[in-house]
């Protein structure tokens, strides 16, 4: 029964995440949904800045602190390992829902692109960013990243294998394609308002801090293997000549005949 409950919990949380992810695309892109980054009546500037900054900070703290190995070791004293990731995804999704709900628009224009070709190009870059985010999750194991693989393994009475370092497809050219996708999606807009700029600046700062924390954890996990990867591959911008090299093959001596 515990395994079945875990799977149901995992599926429900994944469904919430996926709806939240789709809503985030509409929220940032000002698509026709009930609330977007620039919709609604504009209120006083200072309260809007304070509320929006607190909302962004809440998401950043939850997202970063709960992802750290030390927190996970403490957290799993109370939460079963099989649903630890699912619970993390649940709280991250709820933090985003709160942000969408309580976001205050700040509509002062920073830039406005009116040329149809320019508008189309910026929208295409934004959609490319969202596609890159989703593609990158599948390249490294989408269903483990969002907790489904763990609850399915518990139902089947199996344990997941130890993490294995891989560099599939675009990971050979850029170390953090998920973050690159978010940056493209957040910054590529034909209409940049002050509120949108605050969102883009705050998330960019969070991404850079998150990369530093994440790479520290990856070095602890994979050691010199990740250090070599970091030396060979760009962090966010794919550069010519920088590509992950295959790890040297370890050949075992043949036994004497």
Neighbours of 138 (CB within 10 A): 12
Q: What is the pLDDT of residue 244?
A: 78
pTM: 0.93
> Is residue 237 in a domain?
no
Tell me which residue range forms the domain holding 66.
Answer: 2-232
Kindly state the tokens that stand for 222. 């994979």
> Is residue 209 in a domain?
yes
> Is residue 77 in a domain?
yes
Pairwise CA distance, residues 146 & 139, whole Å = 13
pLDDT along the chain (257 residues), means of 10: 92 98 98 96 96 97 93 93 96 98 98 97 98 97 96 93 92 96 98 98 97 96 95 93 63 33
Calculate the dihedral angle through the C-alpha atoms of 240, 189, 102, 104, rounding to the nearest 10 degrees.
130
Tally the domains of the chain.
1
> Is residue 104 in a domain?
yes
Residue 22: closest CA among 133, 155, 179: 133
> Is residue 228 in a domain?
yes
Q: What is the pLDDT of residue 247?
A: 57
Q: What is the pLDDT of residue 179?
A: 97
Q: What is the pLDDT of residue 249?
A: 40
Give the burial class of 113: count Cβ atoms within 10 A of its Cβ; 0-12 exposed, 13-18 middle, 19 or more buried: middle
> Is residue 171 in a domain?
yes
Kindly state the tokens that stand for 145. 């990243």
């Amino acid at each position: 029964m515990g395994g079945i409950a875990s799977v149901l919990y995992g599926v429900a949380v994944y469904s919430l995440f996926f709806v939240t992810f789709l809503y985030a695309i509409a929220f940032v892109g000002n698509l026709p949904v009930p609330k977007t980054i620039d919709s609604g009546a504009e209120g006083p500037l200072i309260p809007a800045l304070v509320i929006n900054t607190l909302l962004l900070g809440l998401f950043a703290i939850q997202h970063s602190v709960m992802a750290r190995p030390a927190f996970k070791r403490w957290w799993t004293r109370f939460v079963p390992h099989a649903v630890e990731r699912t619970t993390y995804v649940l709280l991250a999704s709820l933090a985003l829902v709160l942000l969408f709900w309580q976001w205050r628009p700040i509509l002062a224009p920073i830039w406005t692109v009116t040329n149809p070709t320019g508008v189309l190009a910026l929208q295409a870059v934004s959609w490319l960013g969202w596609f890159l985010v989703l593609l990158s999750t599948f390249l490294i194991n989408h269903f483990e990243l969002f907790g489904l693989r763990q609850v399915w393994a518990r139902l089947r009475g199996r344990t997941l294998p130890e993490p294995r370092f891989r560099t599939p497809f675009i990971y050979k050219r850029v170390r953090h394609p998920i973050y690159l996708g978010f940056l493209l999606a957040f910054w590529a807009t034909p209409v940049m308002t002050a509120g949108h700029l605050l969102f883009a600046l705050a998330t960019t700062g969070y991404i850079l801090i998150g990369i530093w924390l994440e790479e520290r954890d990856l070095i602890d996990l994979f050691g010199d293997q990740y250090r070599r990867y970091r030396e060979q591959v760009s962090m966010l911008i794919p550069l010519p000549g920088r590509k992950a090299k295959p790890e040297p093959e370890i050949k075992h001596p043949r036994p004497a005949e």
